Every structure is written in structure tokens, then in C-alpha cells.
Amino acid sequence: MASTRKAVQAKAVQTKTVQSRAVQPKEKSNGKYAAILRAAIKVFARSGYFNSKVADVAHEAGVADGTVYLYFKNKDDILVSIFNNEMEEALSQGRAALAQVADPAEKLKRVVLAHLERFSSDRDLAVVFQVELRGSTKFMEQFSATRVSDYLELIRSVIEDGQKRGVFRQNVNSTIAAKILFGAVDEMVTNWVLSRKRYSLLSIADIVVDIFFNGVRAHS
């Protein structure tokens, strides 16, 4: 009787495990998740988010329409996932890079350079971030709750560290300063995307950093 009960329990655990796997289809390690996101970036940048369909993304990724829905709830979910996925990667790489530098000023320079370099090397991604995401009311409503807050905190912590070391002015609000730097770099990427001219996005990194550190007032 006891052995029968154990067998039933074991079967129940096995069934529960199978069911658990079945309701957790967002497995990123098999490559399809990344392939769908990559395809979506290309489709959204080329055709515009609102003009694109999930079927277009599936076709570009080389998967069936139903496969997309195994990983994403809908088109909105794909768009937000692009943002979160890229931000997570940027944060991870940024933290690793900053850990190798001690000087707060140099850290901020690297933040600016890394931000511009990321979009400079992937114009489709820049279009999606600067144009398509901003056109989504649903995304903008939850913008402050996204990984942007973590990104801003990374910048703010560098500024605060610089204040403690005497590198930056202590009477500056570190939160506002972080938002100003982010806003400046973000606007430079937007201008680059929308401009009819073709120029190096990285070429303006030093200019942004110089103005942020030194302002526009002439030094006597």
C-alpha cells in the first residue's frame, strides 16, 4: 500500500514537472527567443511598429506564427521585450566596464561612449529605441518603471561617488545630473537617427562629455 502511494506521488511530481515546463515556454537559451527579437528589430525599423504584424516578424525570423506566441503574448510584448533585453545587456556590460575604472570622470565618459557606440553599430536598434518605442503610448506610460531607472541609478551612483571623492561639485543633485546626462546622450542618438546627414555618432561623445563637465560659461 505504501509502495503504491509512493508510486502515485512520484507520478504526480513527474506530471507536475512536465506541466511546469509546458507553461514556461519563454526559454531564451534555445536561440529562438533572440532570433525573434532580432527579427522584430529589423521589421519594426523597416516598416514601423504600427504597420508591422506578428506574422512579419515570424517570417523574418524563419519560424511559424504560432512559435512567436510561445515566447511573447502579443506585438506589444515583443516591443517591450526588445527594450528590456537590450537594457539588461547594456547594464551588464556597463557595470563590468566601469568596474575596471576608478576615476569617476572616466567612468562617465565610458558610459557616454558605450551608449553612443551601441546605437552607432546598430541603426535598426536605434530606430526602434528612439522612434518606435516612443510612439507606443503603452510603453511610455510604464517608461519610468522599466530598466531605465536602473540605468539612471548606475549613472547617479558614479556621480555620487565622484562627489564623495571631490571630483564633482557636492551641491549638485546627483539624480537630476544623471537625468541631464542621459537626456543629452539620448537626444544625440535621436538626432542621428532622424538626420538626413550621415555622420559618426561616436564623434560627438567628447563634445557631450565636455559640455556636461564644463558647461557653456566662459572661464575667466
Judgement on whether residues 92 and 164 belong to the same structural domain of the protein: yes
Residue 21 CA to residue 5 CA, distance in Å, equals 24
Q: What is the DSSP string of 111-148?
A: HHHHHHHHHHT-HHHHHIIIIIGGG-HHHHHTGGGSTH
Residue pair 158/104 in contact (Cβ under 8 Å)? The answer is yes
Whether 41 and 89 map to the same domain: the answer is no
Q: Select from 72, 106, 131 the last residue of a domain.
A: 72
Residue 29 is assigned to a structural domain of this protein: yes
The residue behind cell 536561440 is: 31
CATH number at residue 52: 1.10.10.60
- Domain check: are 60 and 100 in the same one? no
Quote the pLDDT of residue 24: 40
Q: In CATH, what number is assigned to the domain containing residue 175? A: 1.10.357.10
* Residues 65 and 90 grouped into a single domain: no
Is residue 199, in this structure, part of any structural domain at all?
yes
Q: What is the pLDDT of residues 166-188, one digit of tens each?
A: 999 999 999 999 999 999 999 99
| Residues 61 and 99 reside in one and the same domain | no
Percent of the chain scoring above 70 in pLDDT: 82
Residue that terminates a domain, selected from 72, 107, 137: 72
Number of domains in the chain: 2
Residues 192 and 90 both lie in one domain: yes
35 and 129 part of one domain: no
pLDDT, one tens digit per residue, over 181-209 is 999 999 999 999 999 888 999 999 999 99
13 in a structural domain? no
Q: What is the distance between the alpha carbons of residues 199 and 8, in angstroms, rounded to a whole number?
A: 68
Whether 127 and 182 map to the same domain: the answer is yes
Residue 115 belongs to domain spanning: 80-220
Whether residues 125 and 54 share a domain: the answer is no
- Over residues 159-165, the mean pLDDT reads 96
